[in-house]
Structure 1
Amino acid sequence: MPETIAHLVNRLVIDSDAPFDDLRNRFESLVPAMDFAELTEQIESGDLAQVQRYTADHAPHSFATFWTLDPTPMMRLVGHTTRAITYMMGNNVIVETMYRHHPGVMLYAPLRVEIYEDTEGAVHLSIDQPSSKFDSFGDARIAQVGAQLDDKLAALLRMLGLPVPVELVHIALPDGKATP
C-alpha cells in the first residue's frame, strides 16, 4: 500500500548584492565539480579510506557539485532575459551516514541549489533547508545529519558573503543534540 508522508520544507531564498556571474564564479570555486569517473575509480578500488580522502580533497568546504543545469539558453530562445543555474551539490561520505539508516534519503541528496536573477535584476541563491527535508524520515540519526548539513550550508553562505537565514542557526544543547 502506498504511503504518504506530509512534511514541511523551508525553501531559503537568500538575496545577493553580487552580480550573477560573480556569485556563480564564487560558488563554483567553493563547491567544485566532482568527476564521477574519478570517483567511480576510487570506489571500485574497494578502499573506503581512499574514497574518503578523495572526497575530502574534492569537497574542500564539505560540498562538491555532482551535476549542473543551465536553462538560460533555452529560456533565451523564448524571450526570457533572466539567468538561472541549478546545481546538485553534496558529499558522498556524509550522505552515507544517513543512507545506512534509510536509503530513501537519496530522494533529497544531493542537495539542489539555484542561483538566479529575478525580473528586476536582483540575484538570489535558493535552496531547501536540508534539515527540513531529512526530518521527514522520523529518525533522530538522520535528523542530526540534516542539522549538520544546515551548519555546513551556513558556513558556505558565509564564505560566499551571503546572509545566513536564522533557520540554519542551531544551538548546541548539553546532551549534544542541536535545536534550531
Structure 2
Amino acid sequence: MESQGATQACQGMLRTMANAPATSTYTARRLTVPLNRPYDDAVRTFERLVPAADAASFFKLDTWDAVVRLMSEEAPHGFLRYQSLDISPFMATSGAAGECVVYLMGNHVIAERMYRHDHSVMLYAPLHLLIHADASGQAVFVIDQPSTLFASFHDPAITAVGHELDEKVSALLVALDAQPPAELA
C-alpha cells in the first residue's frame, strides 16, 4: 500500500511540474555556406529545387497516406518552401541595405515524426534559413544545423530525425553546387 501511495505522490508531482514554467539552454550550430554564384541565380535555383508548398493541395487530401504520397511527388529534395520573405525592401532605407531572403523550408511528413513526441519541435520545423548577398554580390546560405536544434528536446526519436534533416540539408547544398560543411555528415 505504501508503494501505491508513493507512486500517486510522484504522479502528482509530475503533473504539478508539467504546469510549471520550464527553461532549456542548449547550443545551436549556425552553418554559413558560400554558394559560389550570384545572389539572384542562387535564389532562383534554390526556389526551383525547393518548390513552394501548395497548401490547398494538401488540405483537400483525406488520408495521411495521400499526404505522404503527395509530399514525395512535390518535394524532389525532401523539402518544400512554406514561406519566404524578402528582407531587402524593409532595410533599403536603413543604411544597412543588402539583398537577403528568409525562408521557412521543411517537410511536414518528416516533422510529424517529431511532433508526435513533442509539439514544441514546431519552433524549429519548418527550418528557418536565409540566403543573402555578400559584399561582392555572391550568395551565402545560412541555417542552424537541424540536429543541434532538435537535440535540445533530449528525445532520441526527435534527435534521430534532426540527423536525417542534416543529411537532407547536405544533399540540398550539393544540388546547389555548394560544399556542405563537414558537420552535416
* TM-score band, normalised by shorter chain: 0.7 to 0.9
Percent of residue pairs identical:
42
Alignment match of 2:35 (pick from 7, 16, 23): 16
Q: What is the TM-score when the length of structure 1 is the normalising length?
A: 0.88
Alignment match of 2:182 (pick from 156, 161, 166): 166
- The match for 1:61 is 77
Q: What is the TM-score when the length of structure 2 is the normalising length?
A: 0.86
Cα displacement (A) at 1:101: 1.1
Alignment match of 1:151 (pick from 164, 167, 183): 167
Q: Distance in 1 between matches of 2:91 and 2:97?
A: 8
Q: Distance in 2 between matches of 1:147 and 1:15?
A: 22
The amino acid that maps onto 1:14 is V
Cα displacement (A) at 1:123: 2.3
Secondary structure of 1:77's aligned partner: coil
Secondary structure of 2:34's aligned partner: strand
Mapping of 1:20-99 within 5 angstroms? Answer: 20-42=39-61, 45=62, 47-99=63-115
Moved more, 134-143 or 71-80: 71-80
Which structure 2 segments of 5+ residues have no match? 1-19
**How many residue pairs end up in the alignment?**
166
Q: Is the 8 A contact 1:82 1:121 kept in 2?
A: no
- The match for 1:2 is 21
Mapping of 1:117-128 within 5 angstroms? Answer: 117-128=133-144
Secondary structure of 1:17's aligned partner: strand
Cα displacement (A) at 1:144: 0.6
Cα displacement (A) at 1:77: 3.4
Q: Distance in 2 between matches of 1:52 and 1:65?
A: 16
CA-atom RMSD, angstroms?
Answer: 1.3
Please list the CA deviations of residues 107-127 of structure 1 after superposition, one character each: whole Å capped at 9, or x if unmatched: 110001100013453421000
- The match for 1:141 is 157
In the TM superposition, structure 1's runs of 4+ consecutive aligned residues that sit over 6 Å from their partners are none
Cα displacement (A) at 1:80: 4.2
- The match for 1:105 is 121
The amino acid that maps onto 1:20 is Y
Cα displacement (A) at 1:35: 1.4
The amino acid that maps onto 1:92 is H
The structure richer in helix per residue is 2
Cα displacement (A) at 1:73: 1.5
Q: Distance in 2 between matches of 1:141 and 1:81?
A: 42
